[in-house]
Amino acid sequence: MRRIEEVIVDIAAAKAVLAQQTIEVPSWAYGNSGTRFKVFGTPGTPRDPWEKIADAAQVNAVTGAAPRVSLHIPWDKVEDYDALSAYAHEQGMTIGAINSNVFQDDEYRLGSLANPDARVRAKAVAHHLDCLEVMRAVGSTDLKIWLADGTNYAGQDSIRARQDRVAEGLEQIYAGLQAGERILLEYKFFEPFFYTTDIPDWGTSLVHCMALGEQATVVLDTGHHAPGTNIEFIVAQLLRLGRLGAFDFNSRYYADDDLIVGSADPFQLFRIMHEIVQAGALDPALGVNFMLDQCHNIEAKIPAQIRSVMNVQEATAKALLVDADALGAAQQAGDVLGAHAVLMDAFNTDVRPILAEVREAKGLDADPIKAFAATGYAEKVAAERVGGTQASWGA
């Protein structure tokens, strides 16, 4: 592992960028989730959006880099969104992207915006317009749309007709946007349907976004690609087109495993952040929202989220330590191994010391995991949160 002292790029500049980096955490990561085989409950799991936000605030408190929490509607539905937003502010948080949900009502068996039944499509559009109202009530500008829509058997429905229906529905939702607001359109290559998925890949999401307009951008969920997909290529292309709106960071070994980002393939996360740094896309002005989208089925949820934020920070720090001049020169000279070595030097650099310094400069403990354990918060909520129903994907 290369030591930080050996690095020649401007460490102070890298630290300044790292100090500004923010990662958005998902409310649903603090609730129970699982697989079709089992959803494990855990003592202290939140029972409502207020408790989810309180837990998310613990991650920000020890990392200083996670000041936003995404909501999912209706999982986070409340009577008074102003009050929820005010509560988030009291906790030092703001509410980020609003995720719609047109994948759990019985009517959506054959799809939502792609459903052959116009009444069901109208219901799905109406839900998204409601989500826009929630977005405005909590001061957010991002409506994140993931359509589970798809089919299971060849011939079940017209692939082309479903695309036309999706386009029409998205148009009706897009028409509801106000200035400064945007749609984040997510794709996923399969699940819950297994023959077609109506927005299966970045190309399909991009085609719909370009048909809609400038306020429509693509969400890249790192768990939503066929095995072997070069995700950083997609990142580079979407940045080139100015259509990368957000990431849903997680990692996987097989399918949409939603594991801790960087836990399965830290080198892939580094390669993705290398494309981000090369494009200057850490600059909030480029509008890329770095979000987590994970489920902690067996591990403690708050420490898992803290580890996730740290993994993104470490991949970003390594990407910021790439000697861009040396890389450019080697690439220009066709020095294949020389260019590769420049990247590997950065990847093989222990960046934990500079991230510790960035945290200490913010008055935080160098080790966020240790800092959280020392708060006794997990034990406190396990004792307090007795009774009621623990939040989970269904509820």
Where along the sequence are the contacts to Mn ion (CB under 5 A)?
221, 248, 293
Q: How far apart are CA 210 and CA 171, in angstroms?
A: 11
How long is the chain? 395
Structure tokens belonging to residue 203: 């190309």
Q: Which is nearer to ligand LRH, 232 or 258 (CB)?
A: 258
Contact flags string 176-195 toward ligand LRH, x per CB under 6 A: ----------x-x-------
**With respect to ligand LRH, which residue has the nearer C-beta, 182 or 274?**
182
Residue 256 binds: one of Mn ion, ligand LRH, none (C-beta under 5 to 8 A by kind): ligand LRH
- Binders of ligand LRH among residues 20 to 49 (CB under 6 A) are 28
Q: What residues have CB less than 8 Å from 392, skipping those under 6 apart?
A: 31, 32, 33, 34, 39
The residue (of 186 and 232) whose beta carbon lies closer to ligand LRH is 186
18 neighbors 315 (Cβ within 8 angstroms): no
Strand-pair category, 216-221 with 142-146: unpaired
If one asks whether residue 225 binds ligand LRH (CB under 6 A), the answer comes out as no
Smallest distance from Mn ion to CB 268, Å? 17
Decide if residue 221 touches ligand LRH (CB under 6 A).
yes
Q: Per CB under 6 A, which of residues 131..170 are in contact with ligand LRH?
A: 146
- Is 352 in contact with 1 (CB distance < 8 Å)? no
Look at strands 196-197 and 289-292 and give their pairing. unpaired
Can you read off the two tokens belonging to residue 309?
A: 């934020």
- Rounded to the nearest angstrom, the gap between the alpha carbon of residue 233 and the centroid of all alpha carbons in its chain is 18
Q: Residue with the closest Cβ to Mn ion?
A: 248
Bridge partners of residue 39, in order along the sequence = 34
Residue 249's binding partner among Mn ion, ligand LRH, none (Cβ under 5 to 8 angstroms by kind) is none
Q: Is residue 249 part of the contact set for ligand LRH (CB under 6 A)? A: no
Residue 372 interacting with ligand LRH (CB under 6 A) = no
Contact set with ligand LRH (CB under 6 A): 28, 99, 146, 186, 188, 221, 248, 256, 293
